[in-house]
Amino acid sequence: MLAGILSSLPGAVSQGILWGIMALGVYITYKILDIADLTVDGSFATGGAVCAVCVLSGMNPLLSVLLAMLAGCVAGAVTGILHTVFDIPAILAGILTQLGLYSINLRIMGRSNTPLLKVETLFDKLSNLLPGLGSSYIAICIGVIAVVLVVVALYWFFGTEVGSEIRATGNNEAMVKALGGNTRLMKAFGLAISNGLVALSGALVCQSQGYADVTSGQGAIVMGLAAIVIGNVLMGWGKAFGTKMVSAIVGSIIYRIIIAVVMQTGFVDTQDTKLFSALLVAVALAVPVMVERHRNKPKREE
Amino acid sequence: MMLELKNVKKTFNRGTINEKKALEGIDLQMNPGDFITVIGGNGAGKSTMLNMIAGVYPVDSGAIVIDGKNVTRQPDYKRAAYLGRVFQDPMMGTAADMEIQENLAMAYRRGKRRGLKWGISKKEKEIYHETLKMLDLGLEERMTSKVGLLSGGQRQALTLLMATLQQPRVLLLDEHTAALDPKTGAKVLDLTRELVEKNQLTTLMITHNMKDAIRLGNRLIMMHEGRIIYDVAGQEKQKLKVADLLGKFEEASGGEFANDRMILS
């Protein structure tokens, strides 16, 4: 069993890194903007769908990824407009976009599953450059490069004037308005960036797996939250923005390792992974609350 | 004229059982440098008036003109270019999870376009360091601390500083010391006077404390049931006594205006 666990580790780590970019997107909405955005499940699949169709049409795989990211931004902007212009509650706005995206993703691909046959993905290209390296290690390489680029870009962006305003909007809307900030625009903007990252992750996962699937994003939001929660448990000491972002990635990797280990033990079947994920997140969210409640309980007088 | 309200009216929940006529035709003119204190009972429309000026809700009718610009139809975040605001709740004026200097940097950009420049420059930090010294709270040595670590009084002092960092056309203070303990409240009030005098700010301050209302500012207005029922300035205001104001209140409300909070303060 141990050998099985060890051999499954590189794959788990690579998946954790690639899905970690999605977790960063969720971090922007859930933690920075204080919005639970359910667009994610749809925009993740959109990223994959757009990327697959572009690559198959002969487009450069890197350019395809960027285009997929753009599509994700548009999806996020739609949720943003539903939420800020029409005052639809954020959760419902996200669900509406997510539902609509399912049909759109089918339209983009023309079918529910698109294999990337006879085309060269980013991962194939690197594999040709570094022959002898296993596919998981290739995925880890590309994932690390992508994560570093994204983290640096986000670190810069959230330090700028606009970035600060988005952070403040999630923190105290009344204050931002009083200081002349357009909080509606900031929320829509944040949602667009977040879903752009989610789609980027979807595109990379699509290329690493060699296919795009319309259901690939199912439960993505839960995995994103799991990554954030696990990251917070492990690296909660870090208050700096950079540390927070790294903790989401680390959380995503640990989450994948946990799933891989649990699968190897044989207690959990493949079809039960979603239930397991949901329970994992529910427990991880509930434990701090219960601990806090227990701590605040008034002591009984003797 | 720095601020002009022309027959501003506002009714909340119109046509429902909860209908509340909050403002029934407010006319107010403020000259540059005027410091008006606003008093009145609960539900008199004081906060509503300030919120209408700030654009939190749209007016039903009437007009609001700030420094010659008709802002009646502008949303709150656009009017913010002209206004400095401090709320009653010390938590409302600052972003708790952001650094002291980051909060100041956002206030420094009030009414300006935000771009992709770095959110805070080195030169600014020096300005903030100097400005914070004025508070005498030692915050200038904690500029990278998160605002959430500060006490209510410290946060309110910071909010006041932020509201005046970019000279506002009008400073709106909505019972900004009411949630503080008396000693801290007095300190924040001293700071208010200092800032207003130093920058010659046109100021509208709501207070529940009648002594403060008389002591501070050059003009005093009393509101009752959505109207300004008393407006006094200059010498006449300086000579006012708390008893005079109580008399006015009773006169306006038919003698039943024995609000404990008023008498005690």
Within 10 A of B119 (CB to CB), how many other CB atoms are there? 23
- Distance from B88 to chain A by nearest Cα, in Å? 12
Q: How many CA atoms lie within 13 A of A92 on its CB side?
A: 7
Span A126-143, mean pLDDT?
Answer: 91
CB-based contact, B97 to chain A, within 8 Å: yes
Tokens of B131: 């400005």
Position B113: which residue type?
A: R
From the number of C-beta atoms within 10 Å of its C-beta (0-12, 13-18, 19+), residue B12 rates as middle
ipTM: 0.89
CA distance A42 to A106: 11
Cα–Cα distance list, A127 to A132, A142, B169 (Å): 8, 10, 64
3-state DSSP percent of chain B in helix, strand and coil, to 5: 40, 25, 40
Q: Is the pLDDT of residue B263 over 80?
A: no
Position A144: which residue type?
A: V
- Enumerate the residues of chain A whose CB falls inside 8 A of the CB of residue B120: 164
- Distance from B59 to chain A by nearest Cα, in Å? 18
Span A81-85, mean pLDDT?
Answer: 97
Q: Select the more confidently predicted residue: B114 or B158.
A: B158
Predicted pLDDT of residue A174? 93
Q: Is the pLDDT of residue B102 over 80?
A: yes
pLDDT band (50, 70, 90) for residue B265: very low
For residue A131, the SS3 value is coil
CB-based contact, B134 to chain A, within 8 Å: no
Q: Cβ–Cβ of A160/B118 closer than 8 Å?
A: yes
CA distance A5 to A9: 6
Asked if residues B90 and B180 have their Cβ atoms less than 8 Å apart, the reply is yes
pLDDT band (50, 70, 90) for residue A286: confident
Tokens of A62: 């890197």
Q: Select the more confidently predicted residue: A76 or A270.
A: A76
Q: Is the pLDDT of residue A300 over 80?
A: no
Predicted pLDDT of residue B217? 94
Q: Cβ–Cβ of A172/B78 closer than 8 Å?
A: no
CA-CA-CA-CA torsion sign (A219, A221, A227, A233): negative
A286 phi/psi in degrees, rounded to 5: -75, -35
CA distance B53 to B79: 9
- Enumerate the residues of chain A whose CB falls inside 8 A of the CB of residue B81: 180
Cα–Cα distance list, B217 to A221, A276, B35, B208, B230 (Å): 55, 65, 4, 15, 15
Comparing C-alpha atoms, which of B103, B110, B198 is closest to residue B147?
B103
The answer for A 227-256 residues in CB contact with B (under 8 A) is 239
CB-based contact, B59 to chain A, within 8 Å: no
Predicted pLDDT of residue A1? 72
A129 phi/psi in degrees, rounded to 5: -70, -35
CA distance A17 to A180: 38
Position B18: which residue type?
A: N
Span B73-100, mean pLDDT?
Answer: 94
Cβ–Cβ pairs < 8 A, chains A and B:
84
Q: Cβ–Cβ of B98/A165 closer than 8 Å?
A: no
What is A13-76 written as a DSSP string? HHHHHHHHHHHHHHHIIIIIS----TTHHHHHHHHHHHHHHHHHTT--HHHHHHHHHHHHHHHH
- Distance from B222 to chain A by nearest Cα, in Å? 26
The domain locations on chain B are: 3-82+168-264
Q: Cβ–Cβ of B110/A171 closer than 8 Å?
A: no
pLDDT in tens, B36-62: 999 998 889 999 999 999 999 999 999
- Distance from A179 to chain B by nearest Cα, in Å? 5
pLDDT band (50, 70, 90) for residue B199: very high
The mean pLDDT of chain B is 91
Q: Cβ–Cβ of A179/B105 closer than 8 Å?
A: no
Q: Burial code of A85-105, b = ≥16 C-beta within 10 A, e = fewer?
A: eeebebeebbbbbbeebbebb
Q: Is the pLDDT of residue A31 over 80?
A: yes
Q: Cβ–Cβ of B106/A179 closer than 8 Å?
A: yes
Predicted pLDDT of residue A15? 95
Tokens of B46: 């004081």
Tell me which CATH code domain B3-82+168-264 carries.
3.40.50.300
Span A1-27, mean pLDDT?
Answer: 92
pLDDT band (50, 70, 90) for residue B259: low
What is B169-200 written as a DSSP string? SEEEEESTTTTS-HHHHHHHHHHHHHHHHHHT
pLDDT in tens, B161-196: 999 999 999 999 999 999 999 999 999 999 999 999
The mean pLDDT of chain A is 93
Q: Cβ–Cβ of B109/A172 closer than 8 Å?
A: no
Q: How many CA atoms lie within 13 A of B119 on its CB side?
A: 24
From the number of C-beta atoms within 10 Å of its C-beta (0-12, 13-18, 19+), residue A117 rates as exposed
Tokens of A159: 């330090």
Asked if residues A191 and A35 have their Cβ atoms less than 8 Å apart, the reply is yes
Q: Is the pLDDT of residue B260 over 60?
A: no
Cα–Cα distance list, A170 to A174, A202, B117 (Å): 10, 26, 20
pLDDT in tens, A172-204: 999 999 999 999 999 999 999 999 999 999 999
CB-based contact, A183 to chain B, within 8 Å: yes
Tokens of B117: 């420049």
CB-based contact, A61 to chain B, within 8 Å: no
